[in-house]
Structure 1
Amino acid sequence: MNDALQVYALCVVLLFLKMLAISCYQGYLRLSVLAFHNPEDAAFFKRRAREAERPQVIRAARAWTNDLENIPAFFVLGGLALALDAPATFSAWLCVVFTLARVLHTLTYLAGVQPWRTICYAAALVCLLGFCAVITTQLAMG
């Protein structure tokens, strides 16, 4: 297994764990005060369902939704770059920077910190575009 593939695999695992953590965080926010929006969840804890989710839960859900819009593209583009034997060092760096940017994006999203959230989002997007360029170059070299 080459080094770039190992880096990619580690980044995939870290991003999965980050997404799992934000899901658990939403559950924690609900359980810590036993406040649930879904009637079946509230009933399980013998509570009345809330009209709306807590603001912290909504913010975490939005960060998670943003992950769903971006991280699968990394899985596909990063995997394609490696499958097409893109330059290993460049691909590995794209993986690391993307992963770091997405972790920081989540933290800044949860904290409500601008402009850092947008900067982290843009850094991850640049990595995805970098993968697009690498893939296109590899295909052109045929």
Structure 2
Amino acid sequence: MNGALTAYASCVVVLFLKMFAVSCYQGLFRLRHKAFTNAEDAAVFKRAARDQELAQVIRGSRAWANDLENIPAFFALGGLAIAVNAPAPVTASLSIVFTVARVLHTLAYLKGIQPWRTACYGVGIFCLLGLCASLMKTLLLP
């Protein structure tokens, strides 16, 4: 297994675990406060369903939505970079930096920290653009 594939695969696992942790974060707040918006969930705890989610659950949901706008693109671009044999050091580096940026973005999002949330988002986007450039260079200039 080459270095790019190892880095990419490791990053995919870390990003999955990060997204899973955000789901657990939301569930923890719902359980801790026994606050559910779905009637069937509230009924398990003999509570009435709430009209609105807890603020922490909403923030977690927004972080998740942001992940869904960015992480699938990374999965596709990183996988393609490996499939077309784009330069391994570039693919590995961009994968690692993207992953660190997304983890830090989520932490900043959940804590409501600006400008770090935006900065981490920007770093992630530049990594995606870097993967695009590396792919295009590999495909057009073999």
CA-based RMSD: 0.6
| Alignment match, 2:101 | 101
Query: Which residues in structure 2 correspond to 1:28-67 (within 5 Å)?
Result: 28-67=28-67
How far apart, CA to CA, are the structure 1 residues paired with 2:77 and 2:126? 12
Aligned-residue identity in percent: 63
Superposition TM-score, scaled by structure 1 size: 0.98
- Tell me the equivalent position of 1:70: 70
Aligned-partner SS, 1:63:
helix
2:89 aligned partner: 89
Distance in 2, Cα, partners of 1:93 & 1:38? 43
SS at match of 1:48: coil
| 2:7 corresponding residue in structure 1 | 7
Q: Deviation string for 1:72-100 (max 9, x for gaps)?
A: 00000000011111111111000000000
Distance in 1 of aligned mates of 2:14 and 2:55: 26
Equivalents in 2 of 1:118, 1:40: separation in Å? 37
Q: Match of 1:41, as an amino acid?
A: D
Q: State the distance in 1 between where 2:139 and 2:95 align.
A: 20
Match of 1:116 in 2: 116
C-alpha distance in 2 between matches for 1:137 and 1:3: 20
Structure 2's unaligned 5+ residue stretches are: none
**Unaligned ranges ≥5, structure 1:** none
2:141 matched residue in structure 1: 141
Query: Post-superposition shift, 1:45?
Result: 1.2
User: 4+ runs of 1 displaced by more than 6 Å?
Assistant: none
- Distance in 1 (CA, whole Å) between partners of 2:135 and 2:7 is 18
Separation in structure 1 between the aligned mates of residue 131 and residue 89 of structure 2, nearest angstrom: 12
